[in-house]
Amino acid sequence: GLLCYSGEEAAYLADAGFSDLVVAYPIWQESEVEAACEAIEAGARVQLMVDSVDHVQRLSTLAEQFGQDIPLCLDIDLSTSHFGLHFGVRRSGVRDVDTARHVAATIADAPAVHLAGVMGYEAQLAGLPDDDPSNNRLMNAVVRFLKRCSRPRLRERRGAVVDALRDAGHEVSLVNGGGTGTVEFTAADPSVTEVTVGSGFYSPALFDHY
């Protein structure tokens, strides 16, 4: 499968023959949702990210308007807090089990959408260098320390949300996580079904060779 940045990119990739697509960022604009619905109508599986009740209701309304049933992926915020310091990216308003249950229940009650998966991107691990030559040794050491503190907390949160949703009767067939910087860590998480790898597939030296 492929992660997409927008609904229009998903439609473009679907037209190119790719059929398993997840739009990794919430989309709201009508034209973006319409593009995703066109890809679904053409036979591609396109999952759209949601992070709030208002967002679910918006996508439900547009899905009805465009005559499609859209699979939704619940975006879980996996940032953590240590010693009063926020560590990570504020990706979503879904930060705990209760909120996840509430948004999932809204999806279940809304027409033209259904819950298909969960995404938990650990940006503070996957995207934050901890041996950065532009930082001093102390800064890199602090980042590594915060990463060690963050790993068990975010893994516990992701697993708890997935278990709670399944216990509530929701079908969660996809649990996406990780990035190039956390392939081994995320792959070892028993709640995860697929790991995202981005920049690890890109090598400027390889292209220079050709």
What is the model's pLDDT at position 207?
45
69, 71, 110, 162 from 169: Cα distances, Å = 19, 16, 16, 11
Nearby residues of 98 by Cβ (< 8 Å), 6 or more positions away: none
Residue 186, SS3 per DSSP: helix
Residue 120 CA to residue 103 CA, distance in Å, equals 15
Of 89, 55, 90, 84, the C-alpha closest to 72 is 55
**C-alpha distances in angstroms, 179 versus 23, 40, 132, 189, 208?**
15, 26, 18, 13, 24
Each residue's pLDDT expressed in tens, for the chain with a length of 210 residues? 899 999 999 999 999 999 999 999 999 999 999 999 999 999 999 999 999 999 999 999 999 999 999 999 999 999 999 999 999 999 999 999 999 999 999 999 999 999 999 999 999 998 888 888 888 889 889 999 999 999 999 999 999 999 999 999 999 999 999 888 888 899 999 999 999 987 666 655 544 543
- Residue 202 confidence (pLDDT): 64
Apex CA 61: angle with CA 58 and CA 62, to 5°? 85
Please name the amino acid found at residue 181.
G
Q: Is the CB of residue 107 less than 8 Å from the CB of residue 97?
A: no
